[in-house]
Amino acid sequence: MAVMAKPKLIPLAPPWQLSVVLACLLLLCTGCSGRFRTETYYVAPGFTANSLRGKTVAVLPLAETTATGPATAPAATSAPASAPATSPPELPARSEASRREFAGVAGGLREAGARVRLLSSEEGELVAARPGNVAAAYLLVVRLTGSDVYHALAPHRRGRVTDRAVSRTTGRRVGLRLTLLRLPDELPVWLAGGTGDVWVTREGPADARPAGHDTPATPETGDRFAGGLALYPPPPAPERLSRRLTRRLIADLPVATELEPN
């Protein structure tokens, strides 16, 4: 006589607990998506994230529009409106301010398993004239479309009275456009772009100068010019931010499918 085991029912969590978990996950996803915006314009058939593994990628940095200095309020984060051109690149215009962003791009490629050659200014001139003669499997043209540092001041309020403590926030934003050419035929296999930003907050006094109980918090611009700039936290490292942005762009690439034997 066969004995049948009675199935054991696993109790489900109450609906209110499931709602709390879903709300937390939605909040976390919203915060992540707001800091990095990426877009892929074109991917050649058969090109995947695994195509970079073990291949040599020569990185040609181009500083397109690089802004320097602090700004009072950040603009809306958005991806580039149009795809980058695939024509032979112009001569590179590299500066010390943008060198670290390009180094971060190289770091993101190494994380994907590629061997990276970050071209020098002299090599860049030769590559711009004859891209097909580079000793590499791919040529990645990196255009730096944005590199800004922002400051923000948020006073602490208790009811209608402004407290003398404030939150000083420093943020860095980086924008990239990537054009990956397959060598030696110089055919584009990947066009993508995006922006990313990271913010750091520090609590501190409302003003660098003594203030009374009825003195409102200094505006952000006045706070910096009054000597409060040293009280802001330093901005995140540019290479770390561009490395994370490159990692997000590579993650958008399709994954190669493997056929299992019958």
Output the pLDDT for position 73: 42
Average pLDDT over residues 118-124: 80
- pLDDT tens digits for 214-243? 555 567 887 777 778 888 899 999 999 999
If you ran DSSP here, which 8-state letter would residue 223 be given?
H
Is the pLDDT score of 37 beyond 70? Answer: yes
Is the pLDDT score of 256 beyond 60? Answer: yes
How would you class 255 by CB atoms within 10 Å of its CB: exposed for 0-12, middle for 13-18, buried for 19 or more? exposed
**Predicted TM-score (pTM) above 0.75:** no
Between CA 134 and CA 182 the distance in angstroms is: 11
Determine which helix (DSSP H) or strand (DSSP E) holds 155, and give its type and residue range: strand 138-158
Residue with tokens 């800004």: 148
The region of weakest confidence among 4-8, 56-60, 185-189 is: 4-8
Is the pLDDT score of 93 beyond 70? Answer: no
Phi, psi of 224 (to 5 degrees): -70, -40
Phi, psi of 205 (to 5 degrees): -70, 160
Of the two residues 116 and 161, the one the predictor is more confident about is: 116
Output the pLDDT for position 191: 98
Is the pLDDT score of 9 beyond 70? Answer: no
Of the two residues 15 and 140, the one the predictor is more confident about is: 140
Output the pLDDT for position 25: 42
Average pLDDT, the chain: 74
Is the pLDDT score of 33 beyond 50? Answer: no
Is the pLDDT score of 251 beyond 90? Answer: yes
The partner residues of 168 in beta bridges, in order of sequence, read: 153, 202
CB-CB contact of 106 with 118 (8 Å): yes
Count CA atoms closer than 13 A to 60's CA, side-chain side: 24
Which of 145, 122, 148, 146 is CA-nearest to residue 60?
122
Pairing between β-strand 36-43 and β-strand 70-71 as defined by DSSP bridges? unpaired
For the chain, give the longest Cα–Cα distance.
Answer: 90
Residue 18 in 3-state DSSP? Answer: helix
- pLDDT tens digits for 54-79? 999 999 998 765 444 444 444 333 33
Between CA 97 and CA 99 the distance in angstroms is: 6
Which of 87, 83, 183 is CA-nearest to residue 135?
183
CB-CB contact of 165 with 203 (8 Å): yes
CB-CB contact of 9 with 214 (8 Å): no
* Residue 181's pLDDT band (cuts 50, 70, 90): very high
Alpha-carbon torsion angle 85, 176, 91, 130, nearest 10: -60
Output the pLDDT for position 90: 43
Which of 176, 177, 85, 89 is CA-nearest to residue 127?
89
Is the pLDDT score of 252 beyond 50? Answer: yes
At 43, the amino acid letter reads: V
Residue with tokens 């200014």: 121
Output the pLDDT for position 175: 95
Average pLDDT over residues 144-152: 90
